[in-house]
Amino acid sequence: MDFRDIKSLTREELREELLRKGEKAFRADQIYSWMHEKLASGFHEMTNLSRTLREALEREYEYVNLEIVEVQRSRLDGTCKYLFRLADGNMIESVLMRYHHGNSVCISSQAGCRMGCRFCASTIGGLVRNLQASEMLDQIYRIQKDSGERVSNVVVMGTGEPLDNYENLLRFLKILSDEHGLHISQRNITVSTCGIAPRIRELAEEDLSITLALSLHAATQEKREELMPIARKYKLPEVLDACAYYYDKTGRRLTFEYSLVGGVNDHPEDARRLSALAKPLHSHINLIPVNPVTERKYVQPDKKVIGNFKKELEKYGINVTIRREMGRDIDGACGQLRRRYLETAE
Ligand code: SAH
């Protein structure tokens, strides 16, 4: 990681960094609080530091500050989609969703993605680059400032595969849940993965209390490969073993995400197979009627088929919810706002 990117340093690292420069530890704490608690937009706002120190920081460090390019507001449910420009010109998107239990932000972990899931818009242009921890954090900071409302939940379910950007993800999780930052409880943070089995095992060792969501989408190896090319590399038994390990080690139940695609994975037999995978792990299943993407041919099953699929799972005693569609009237599906922007820019 680049130590010039000051917002990506954990509190301990920032202290060490400043002590080495002959500053006192409490200075580091003040700077940390300006960045992660008060959400300052630059060193110039840090008014309890001397001018000399502020200027020295300015010279030595990069201060990541995302630029809001566009905000789309849903008139149906208050959902807001944000398009941000990074310092190098790359674009990313995030979503603010308003629920009864609080505000939830869905963030991107990479610019683009290299996993290639067939139904997903985020992967169409491939991976551009990983996001720094600061760039993941700032999506939340900017949205909290722009909306003027506290963010209480974070889901890493936007563009990118978080476990393909592992080191930065860990930093992000530490800083986001730090008591001297936004202090979002790890229980209110969900990380979603397409199933990079060795990384799931590694994550189990990190002593975190986040929720891990596995994008399952199919209950057989064959169907899963059809929808998700990455499934050829990490086969279903290996992925499920890693999930069982995660559950054993952390005591945290996983969520299985299952995008329902009309005529592909919505048969009652699919539900039966799916329940057999979820049962031993006590996993919660989140059904996501596939969000049609212009570039892809997949369609949502009929309402009735979706309802029956849910009932079928419940029959086997599975805890299941259907993802409420938020922001139907704005570019809803993962990566669509960014794609539209890239297309008009081409
Ligand atoms: N790479 C991670 C996180 C990003 S995607 C992962 O694969 O989990 C977040 C979730 O949205 C995943 O379950 C993904 O499969 C799903 N998704 C992506 N595009 C979708 C679409 N068009 N319709 C429904 N779900 C979609």
Mean pLDDT of the region 11-37:
96
* Tens of pLDDT, residues 177-219: 999 999 999 999 999 999 999 999 999 999 999 999 999 999 9
What is the model's pLDDT at position 214? Answer: 98
Mean pLDDT of the region 28-55:
97
Cα–Cα distances (Å) from 346 to 121, 335, 340, 342, 343, in that order, read: 17, 16, 10, 6, 5
- Mean pLDDT computed over every residue of the chain: 94
What is the model's pLDDT at position 297? Answer: 83
Protein residue with least CA distance to atom 17, ligand 1 = 120
Protein residue with least CA distance to atom 7, ligand 1 = 194
Distance between CA 132 and CA 110 in Å, rounded?
A: 9
* Tens of pLDDT, residues 100-123: 889 999 999 999 999 999 999 899
Distance between CA 134 and CA 344 in Å, rounded?
A: 28
* Tens of pLDDT, residues 46-90: 999 999 999 999 999 999 999 999 999 998 888 999 999 999 999
Protein residue with least CA distance to atom 12, ligand 1 = 215
- Contact call for residues 127 and 114 (beta carbons, < 8 A): yes
pLDDT band at residue 2, thresholds of 50, 70 and 90? low
pTM score, whole prediction:
0.96
Q: Cite the active site residues.
A: 93, 334
What is the model's pLDDT at position 88? Answer: 96
Q: How many CB atoms lie within 10 A of CB 65?
A: 16
| DSSP label at residue 306 | H
Q: Is the pLDDT of residue 328 over 80?
A: no
Q: Is the pLDDT of residue 1 over 80?
A: no
Of 107, 258, 288, 295, best ligand 1 pocket probe by most atoms within 8 Å of the beta carbon: 288
CB of 194 shorter than 6 A to ligand 1: yes
CB of 127 shorter than 6 A to ligand 1: no
Q: Is the pLDDT of residue 346 over 50?
A: no
Across the strands, what pairs with 26?
none
Q: Which residue has the higher pLDDT, 119 or 3?
A: 119
- Contact call for residues 27 and 48 (beta carbons, < 8 A): no
Tell me, in angstroms, the distance from the centre of ligand 1 to residue 158's CA: 8
Distance between CA 192 and CA 215 in Å, rounded?
A: 7
Tell me, in angstroms, the distance from the centre of ligand 1 to residue 100's CA: 23
